Amino acid sequence: MTVLVFSGLIFIGALAAGLLGSLTGLGGGVVLIPLLTLLFKVDIHYAIGASLVSVIATSSGAAAAYVRDGISNIRLGMFLEVATTVGAVAGASLATRLSTSMIAIVFGLVLILSAVLSFFKTRDNLVTGPGSRLTQWLKLGSNYPTPEGRQDYTVKNVVGGFLVMNVAGVLSGMLGIGSGALKVLAMDSIMRAPFKVSTTTSNFMIGVTAAASAGIYLKKGYIDPGLSMPVMLGVLAGAFAGSRILTRARVSQLKRVFAAVIGLLAIEMIYNGIHHTI
């Protein structure tokens, strides 16, 4: 296989990963890393490095469209980034000391948890009213566009969501997935934000989280420009396409796609991790 063909195949795979990542708030890494390690036999540390670069590109690109459309909750995202950034630095430092098989198993377990929680909850949240004192003090409530017009909402369980975001940051730095899965679930299931707000705010957040840990991978030499370039371009193109689809997509369908794809990938990652074939 020539370099040109290899780069083209990587681009196509990254395009699909970026599309799914944009629609579900995962950032693409949740599909991209299994794709690179299982199909293209890339060392998982280099796959994580390339994924982190693509996560930064996705957040910088597609997230801008969600902010423009008024779906993302900027104030909520910036508040929760305090927790994820601290966790990301710790996770990246830990990842460089773990074996590839151990990282693959942890990656798969995190994906299974995300798939289960998402699959059994397909109804959207809509919490109205003033919210808790902490929510009001931080002004975390907002509104987002719906077919019937802009809909006001608020969030709950701010402290619980903040703590889960810290764990999400650790996993982001360790696994290179932007921790979108846990971020979406923290905002959707714990803080009770509407699903579309959760996914778009996650897309807004993941770039900052990834940037905090990408520097450590760069210092260790795990970011290869030849691999990162087609990955970044493909994920960015897919993310832009996803931003066009999201506003018209049904929430229940998005959650089922989210659960099915990452569930299958999780099983494959755990199997290969246990058998040391990754």
| pLDDT tens digits for range 190-249 | 888 887 788 788 877 877 777 777 888 888 888 898 899 999 888 888 877 877 776 666
Mean pLDDT taken over the chain: 79
Q: How far is CA 204 from CA 12, 64, 114, 142, in A?
A: 24, 8, 19, 16
Under the banding of pLDDT at 50, 70 and 90, the label for residue 154 is confident
- pTM for this entry: 0.69
Per-residue pLDDT at 122 exceeds 60: no
d(CA 248, CA 225): 36
Distance of alpha carbon 149 from the chain centroid: 28
The pair of structure tokens assigned to 266 is 């999780």
Interval 26-35: pLDDT, tens: 656 777 888 8
Contact 175, 165 (CB under 8 A): no
Contact 183, 8 (CB under 8 A): no
The pair of structure tokens assigned to 74 is 């900027």
DSSP label at 139? Answer: T
**Distance between the two ends of the chain, CA-based, in angstroms?**
21
pLDDT at 125 (0 to 100): 65
Count Cβ neighbours within 10 Å for each residue of 69-85 and write b for 16 or more, e otherwise. eebbbeebbebbbebbb
DSSP label at 146? Answer: E
Per-residue pLDDT at 36 exceeds 60: yes
Backbone φ and ψ for 212, nearest 5 degrees, come out as -65, -30
Q: Is the dihedral of CA 211, 44, 114, 167 positive or negative?
A: negative
The residues pairing with 149 across neighbouring beta strands, listed in sequence order, are 146
